[in-house]
Structure 1
Amino acid sequence: MSLAAVIEGTREAVRADAANAAARFSVGHTLVPGTATTVDVRVRDHTFAVDEPATLGGADTAANPVEYALAALGSCQVITYQFWAAKLGVPLDSVRVTVDGDLDLHGFFGFTEGTRPGFNDVRVHVELTGPASPETYADLKRQVDEHCPVLDLFANPTPVTTTLA
């Protein structure tokens, strides 16, 4: 199914009932027995591992959580570029995104109170190729920046509730 068909089908479903715009995602996580940091993750019918590099106490069997966060941002950017290019009719031959983030371990380890445990700077570098004008791609970037769900998570506070069972 083409992105244009997905866009139009979703528009019609939401027009028929606004409740169709609500989406819920769920991810399960389990510490792998006998390990200090390896986590099995289940998303729908997909599984993957999360670990830490040896320098942070892990076995380095997979990317770590902050690397997956950067990967989520970069992947969402690529998908959102494809989606909005299709929606706007912007010709796009390729999209390449690199995401870098800086983290101060003082916060994670609690070495310094008041130091944020999360990223203190994230940089997204986007390369687009295609026959459209630079102005057209600049407008596409504005649309992507306004509508990318994971970029929104990085850029704005999101209410989070944690419970202990």
Structure 2
Amino acid sequence: MSIRPKETVVPFVVRGEGTGVAQQLHVPGSQHRFETDAYPAFGGQDAAPSPLFYALGALTSCNQVTAQLVAKDLGITLGRFEFEVQGDLDTAVLVGGADGNANFDRVTVTATIESDASPEDFARLESETDRRCPVSQLFRRSGLELATTWSQAPLHATV
């Protein structure tokens, strides 16, 4: 008896190849391609963003996508997003092979979002986005300290 996957499950596939610490990645069946490298201290040439930067970028962009879905459910309009994210990484495990956890110790996300939401709906937008965002949950469930601060800005008319 085979188990059928849920109809709501969507597989996300990325393929990569490379040498040293540099890698070229692509999404099969699409034109989407990107590269990774590392700082020279980690053996790279710093010719492309580090995988750690992509991980932090995935956090902000997934929050923006999820926020749009949540806003639609709440009946509010969102405009421009501005994010800053910082990941504090103790490199003793990664570089030196020390015992411990190679994960970020702490990740801080600061977001300013244009919205027409009431203060109550904006708070709901933030909490529901955190709950529903796959990348936020990946970070949160990894055990690192994830701190988020969202601020609302007035919604500006688009030209």
Higher strand share: 2
Query: Which residue in 2 is equivalent to 1:22?
Result: 9
Asked if residue 43 in structure 1 is aligned to residue 27 in structure 2, the reply is: yes
The one-letter code matched in structure 2 to 1:95 is: F
5+ residue gaps, structure 1, are 1-17, 158-165
Deviation at 1:59, TM superposition (A): 1.1
Name the CA distance, whole Å, in 2 between partners of 1:19 and 1:106: 41
The 5 A counterparts of 1:10-159 are 19-32=6-19, 36-44=20-28, 45=30, 46-114=32-100, 116-157=101-142
5+ residue gaps, structure 2, are 143-159
Q: Deviations 1:75-109 (Å, cap 9, x if unpaired)?
A: 10011111111122112222222211000110102
| Structure 1 segments (4+ residues) deviating >3 Å | none
More relative contact order, 1 or 2 (CA 8 Å, 6+ apart): 2
The one-letter code matched in structure 1 to 2:88 is: D
TM-score, normalization: structure 1? 0.76
Does the residue aligned with 2:124 lie in a helix, a strand or coil? helix
Deviation at 1:42, TM superposition (A): 1.2
Matched pairs, number: 138
**Contact 1:84-1:140 at 8 Å conserved across structures:** yes
Name the CA distance, whole Å, in 1 between partners of 2:54 and 2:79: 26
The one-letter code matched in structure 2 to 1:87 is: D
Q: What is the alpha-carbon root mean square deviation over aligned residues? A: 2.0
TM-score, normalization: structure 2? 0.79
